[in-house]
Copies of this chain bind each other. A is one copy, B any other.
């Protein structure tokens, strides 16, 4: 029942962990996920293969951790850098009382993130992997997506209380009305993903969610 030998994480080399993260992200960006290999990551990180296999079960798991680390570091950098906070992940969705404006702000930020060339390759890789591998997909959703979506739920509940959204609407469905079209366009590359598109989606969705006259 017990795993064959749990490594002692207190003795883990932080230096190696970071090097592996960096190498993984760099390789995925440079050569793509498919051609990124564990051997390649190890070589680039100046690390033995076993050090990777000791701490991660798969290439996707390495990338997931690396990506979360990256997200964490960039959030931290943003947090310490300035007082004006646009990072919705850490701060939540603003509530100025104007639901449409607030959502447009957030969706535009999401569009910018999805279009960020540094984030694109790993995000696509992890998403694709999660689509095929249910276990990994669940982890992806739980660690990356859910925290973000929870912010929408919060804001939408507030909107319901304020009377901007009908009482009967399930926020988890409402949120998908906003996020779904964005992801669809980004994943399938059907048409360019722009701020204008985000705005339009918000307009239509909020229109559909608003109380009936």
Contacts and interface: CB of A to CB of B under 8 A. Distances in A.
Contacts of A208: 203-209
Q: How many protomers of this protein does the assembly include?
A: 4
A70 interface: no
Interface string A144-163: 01000100000000000000
Interface in A113-159: 124-125, 127-134, 137-138, 140-141, 145, 149
Nearest to A185: B176
B132 A131 contact: no
Interface stretch (A13-21, A80-88, A188-196): A188-196
Interface residues of A, number: 50
A177 B181 contact: yes
Interface in A160-213: 169-170, 172-174, 176-177, 179-185, 187-191, 197, 200-201, 203-210, 213
Contact of A132 (B32, B141, B177, B207): B32
Contacts of A140: 188
Contacts of A185: 176, 180
A34 interface: yes
A33 interface: yes
A139 to B, nearest CB: 11
A63 to B, nearest CB: 12
Nearest to A137: B189
Contacts of A206: 208
A201 B177 contact: yes
Contacts of A184: 176, 179-180, 183-184
A184 B32 CA distance: 24
Given A131-B187, A204-B208, A209-B208, A182 B181 contact: no
Contacts of A128: 128-129, 131-132
11 contacts: A127-B188, A131-B187, A176-B184, A177-B181, A179-B180, A179-B184, A180-B183, A183-B183, A204-B205, A204-B209, A205-B205
Ranked 5 nearest A-B pairs via Cβ: A208-B208, A180-B180, A180-B181, A207-B208, A180-B184
